[in-house]
Amino acid sequence: MNTEDVANKVVELTRKQAWREAVNSLYAKDIVSVEAQGMGGDSPEKRGIEAVRGKADWWINNMEVHSFKVNGPFVAHDRLVVEYDVDVTDKNSKQRMQMSEVGVYTVKDGKIVREEFLPLTGKG
């Protein structure tokens, strides 16, 4: 798959919230996944497909999703960007949150080798 194929697949699978399928079909084994902030003092950077699978499972288990909008993809060369607008309730804290962020993905040999998530900090 070229970058655009991967990009279209990211959009298709995230719109379906098919996180496990996305990880299994699109991610390189040595994926590097970078959040804006680590959770609970943890590093914001995770390495390896098992760590990303763990993040996906955490999300599925902990979030009640009210809406999940996916905009994009934006594509050039080995890079793609997708925007996510999310409305969720954390099942533990019962806190409802609206979040917008972009994922910046780097593709090599048809697989995602790096992903970075950047939250919206401005007024949009």
Q: What are the residues binding a second copy (CB under 8 A)? A: 4, 7-8, 11, 34-36, 44, 71-77, 79-81, 83, 100-102, 104, 116-122, 124
Residue 50: phi and psi, rounded to 5, are -65, -40
- The Cα–Cα gap between 81 and 97 comes to 22
Residue type, 82: V
Q: How far is the CB of 66 from a second copy (least distance, A)?
A: 21
DSSP code of residue 94: -
Closer residue to a second copy (CB): 28 or 73: 73
Query: What angle separates helix 49-62 from helix 19-26, to the nearest 10 degrees?
Result: 170
CA 38 to chain centre: 14
Q: How far is the CB of 43 from a second copy (least distance, A)?
A: 12
Closer residue to a second copy (CB): 28 or 75: 75
Closer residue to a second copy (CB): 69 or 96: 69
Closer residue to a second copy (CB): 89 or 100: 100
Q: How far is the CB of 98 from a second copy (least distance, A)?
A: 15
Q: How far is the CB of 4 from a second copy (least distance, A)?
A: 6
DSSP code of residue 19: H
Sign of the C-alpha dihedral, residues 99, 28, 9, 4? positive
